[in-house]
A and B are shown apart, each in its own frame.
Chain A
């Protein structure tokens, strides 16, 4: 495999036979061709590599939720506390390697007490398991490059005769730190376990999860749904033990051939009732554009919960009193939330919206439309003023055009209301008109040039239809013909 580096093709990756012929990575392609004229060469594709590594990382989720990327060709799995589920570290490692080999992936793996040691032994050693506390011993014979340091620094070390990690370990620390920076020694300390090393997982860790493995891959839809219901039940019990509910649920389906499919559902307020979760997943699975494809079956299904929080007390039971406004409010809010959750799962959160009043005169911004799932937290900010009281004559239209549409207008006097206008190719005669209601741009929030002041008119056509029109700008010096727009439709 070759890649372009500084304008020349160089070997970046070799298979076993090429290595046996004496090729090394970093060699220029022209030189390699000179050595072996019949060399098979493939150009490297970094994007495809990353996708493949991502897919393998997804698959590795089956062993631990904490999977991190290690460079462009490695994965780091934190299996603390997970190994016993697979019959110990050795068993876990063997299981992982055989399954990956079955998927035609060539891997080397090592298990060690620190990320650095595992990385070094897997990449530069013989792999396998490093006994607890034996990290130092395992690392010493390895080359300095195993610490994961930059090539320039490796050369610097080599020039001083520091080839292996043992060479570095046995030297006095102060001069080394002065010459190569403290970073080098920190890396060594981390690998040996004298300093802690943080691992950044690829995906956020769930707060709570339940999973189920199947000896025989599960391919029937009914069986899958049943398994999911069982997981919902156990997850709900876990959440109950914590006294919490969750707003985010993710079901991961691990196919036996390595593909992983994740399905998310989201709710507006924390829930934990299995019936509710089940319904949301059922809706989501029904509405999937590309349905869940079990292929040869799923061998692991996992359900995890995120964004947990305290559950609202179930006050529906209290709703027996007469005319209690507070209870009414709570029950109404719960009913809306329940419907919003179901519809958001079916149609997507962006299609299910609620309105928040805004403190502004600008008609375009007077009502903020927010996804219903976010309504609770937006309300919680406490900035929304109350909605206007019902008025005898409507001041605002029932329907607002998303974009005001230009109209041609005839008016008796330039400043006056229109007497006739043309909108969407139809001519409308104005029978009654009221206005103008003058709405100026809000200078205290605008940064650039101000939009012109608008004069709004409510007009009624002779057949009874009522419209909301405005003149964009006032007559005055510089504006001889301010344009007119149709903005809203009254009942």
Chain B
């Protein structure tokens, strides 16, 4: 079976698992993390969820969001950001998202001049008459700090738009002192030290310390989560020994081996004759 076929199967299994819940199929999703799912209950799909992180934890928060998006399925995603966000925290890197399990071909990256422009544009991102099977699936609204335009009214408008269009709205707020909003859940995310070690000293899977500080339809709590992009699922970090050595890793550079372009994993890798070694 080809790699793509396996990927597709894994994805559909994750989709089935994610949708199976008491809310009846398509209206809810889950994380895949057993303890957290049990406590939180089914998560509303057509609602506003809020992810909060300090600016230095922005990459972890976007990773968590990318995980949620992959968990939500393959429907297209609109990601809105402010102009200034790229300078401070870097631009979205499509190959990284692809490695996470998110299809960059189904991502629309939108920038607004300021928070107000982003919020106004967000209203256009929820199409009227959206197809609930294959239309826009999620809208991510990334805002820096606590802009005054994002008040309770603005977030309620997002809630309504999400419900009417059948879209998951994810509000990513980077900053401290975040005021209340109309979101059904609030997640505080930061990076956690990874558990698995592949090589002697390498970092493991993306790991998050997630605190759910607000949940309208279930309990709250704090969990350590790890993102497994093969299973499209969050889960509890595994003990070290259980992590298998993956097949595809970047080559450890050794003297005389250069990873570059067409030589990367081709037949030439590792077969450079000693006489042609590159010094260094």
A interface residue numbers (CB < 8 A to B): 283, 316, 319, 327-328, 331-332, 335-336, 338-340, 342-343, 346-347, 351-355, 357, 360-361, 363, 366-367, 369, 372, 387-402, 417, 431-442, 444, 453, 455, 458-460, 462-466, 474-477, 488-491
Least CB separation from B253: chain A residue: A438
Q: Provide 25 A-B residue pairs closer than 8 Å at the C-beta atoms, listed in order of the A residue.
A: A328-B134, A331-B131, A331-B135, A335-B134, A336-B108, A347-B110, A347-B113, A352-B111, A357-B94, A361-B264, A366-B94, A387-B103, A389-B7, A390-B98, A392-B205, A392-B246, A397-B59, A432-B204, A434-B198, A464-B60, A465-B191, A476-B280, A489-B59, A490-B59, A491-B59
Known contacts A332-B135, A392-B230, A402 near B108 by CB under 8 Å? no
The reply to whether B202 and A490 contact each other, CB–CB distance below 8 Å, is no
B interface residue numbers (CB < 8 A to A): 3-4, 7, 56-60, 62-64, 66, 74-76, 78, 86-87, 89-101, 103-113, 117, 120-121, 124-125, 127, 130-131, 133-136, 190-194, 197-199, 201-209, 227-230, 232, 246, 248-253, 257-261, 264, 279-280
The reply to whether A475 and B280 contact each other, CB–CB distance below 8 Å, is yes
The reply to whether A400 and B96 contact each other, CB–CB distance below 8 Å, is yes
Known contacts A366-B95, A391-B229, A400-B91, A440 near B258 by CB under 8 Å? yes
Give the complex CA separation of A98 and B32 in angstroms.
77
CB distance from A478 to the nearest CB of B (A): 10
Give the complex CA separation of A302 and B116 in angstroms.
33
Contact of B96 among A316, A335, A340, A399 (CB under 8 A): A399
What B residues does A389 contact at CB under 8 A?
3-4, 7, 98
What B residues does A453 contact at CB under 8 A?
258, 260, 280
Closest 8 CB pairs of A and B: A491-B63, A474-B280, A434-B202, A399-B90, A440-B260, A367-B94, A489-B59, A464-B191
Give the complex CA separation of A395 and B207 in angstroms.
15
The reply to whether B112 and A347 contact each other, CB–CB distance below 8 Å, is yes
The reply to whether A335 and B76 contact each other, CB–CB distance below 8 Å, is yes
The reply to whether B94 and A355 contact each other, CB–CB distance below 8 Å, is yes
The reply to whether A464 and B192 contact each other, CB–CB distance below 8 Å, is yes
What B residues does A352 contact at CB under 8 A?
108-111
CB distance from A462 to the nearest CB of B (A): 7
Least CB separation from A353: chain B residue: B109
Least CB separation from B77: chain A residue: A336
Known contacts A366-B95, A367-B93, A393-B205, A465 near B57 by CB under 8 Å? yes
Give the complex CA separation of A69 and B104 in angstroms.
48
The reply to whether A399 and B93 contact each other, CB–CB distance below 8 Å, is yes
The reply to whether B58 and A339 contact each other, CB–CB distance below 8 Å, is no
Give the complex CA separation of A328 and B96 in angstroms.
24
What B residues does A351 contact at CB under 8 A?
110-112
Give the complex CA separation of A83 and B251 in angstroms.
75
Give the complex CA separation of A24 and B66 in angstroms.
77
Told that A319-B131, A466-B194 touch, could you supply 20 new A-B pairs with CB distance under 8 A? A343-B124, A347-B112, A388-B99, A390-B230, A392-B248, A393-B198, A393-B246, A394-B100, A395-B99, A398-B93, A400-B93, A432-B194, A432-B204, A434-B198, A440-B260, A442-B260, A464-B207, A465-B56, A490-B206, A491-B62
The reply to whether A490 and B108 contact each other, CB–CB distance below 8 Å, is no
Give the complex CA separation of A486 and B249 in angstroms.
21
Give the complex CA separation of A417 and B200 in angstroms.
13
CB distance from A48 to the nearest CB of B (A): 33
The reply to whether B201 and A434 contact each other, CB–CB distance below 8 Å, is yes
Contact of A491 among B74, B121, B191 (CB under 8 A): B191
Give the complex CA separation of A46 and B252 in angstroms.
67
Give the complex CA separation of A433 and B193 in angstroms.
12
Least CB separation from B67: chain A residue: A491
CB distance from A420 to the nearest CB of B (A): 14
Least CB separation from A344: chain B residue: B110
The reply to whether A489 and B90 contact each other, CB–CB distance below 8 Å, is yes
Least CB separation from B56: chain A residue: A465
The reply to whether A466 and B249 contact each other, CB–CB distance below 8 Å, is no
Known contacts A319-B133, A335-B76, A464-B192, A491 near B206 by CB under 8 Å? yes
Give the complex CA separation of A13 and B124 in angstroms.
55
Give the complex CA separation of A437 and B199 in angstroms.
14
The reply to whether B253 and A455 contact each other, CB–CB distance below 8 Å, is yes
Give the complex CA separation of A254 and B240 in angstroms.
73
What A residues does B110 contact at CB under 8 A?
343, 347, 351-353
What A residues does B93 contact at CB under 8 A?
363, 366-367, 396-400, 488
Contact of A398 among B62, B74, B194 (CB under 8 A): B62
Known contacts A463-B193, A491-B206, A402 near B109 by CB under 8 Å? no
Contact of B259 among A391, A437, A459, A488 (CB under 8 A): A437
Give the complex CA separation of A395 and B106 in angstroms.
21
Give the complex CA separation of A351 and B92 in angstroms.
14
What B residues does A340 contact at CB under 8 A?
108
The reply to whether B131 and A462 contact each other, CB–CB distance below 8 Å, is no
Give the complex CA separation of A411 and B95 in angstroms.
29
What B residues does A458 contact at CB under 8 A?
202-203
Least CB separation from A444: chain B residue: B261
What B residues does A327 contact at CB under 8 A?
134
Known contacts A336-B106, A393-B249, A395-B250, A402 near B131 by CB under 8 Å? no
What A residues does B204 contact at CB under 8 A?
393, 432
What A residues does B261 contact at CB under 8 A?
360-361, 440, 442, 444
The reply to whether B95 and A367 contact each other, CB–CB distance below 8 Å, is yes
Give the complex CA separation of A342 and B80 in angstroms.
14
Known contacts A339-B125, A397-B96, A491-B62, A357 near B134 by CB under 8 Å? no
What B residues does A283 contact at CB under 8 A?
124
Least CB separation from A333: chain B residue: B76
What B residues does A367 contact at CB under 8 A?
93-95, 104
Contact of A335 among B62, B136, B260 (CB under 8 A): B136
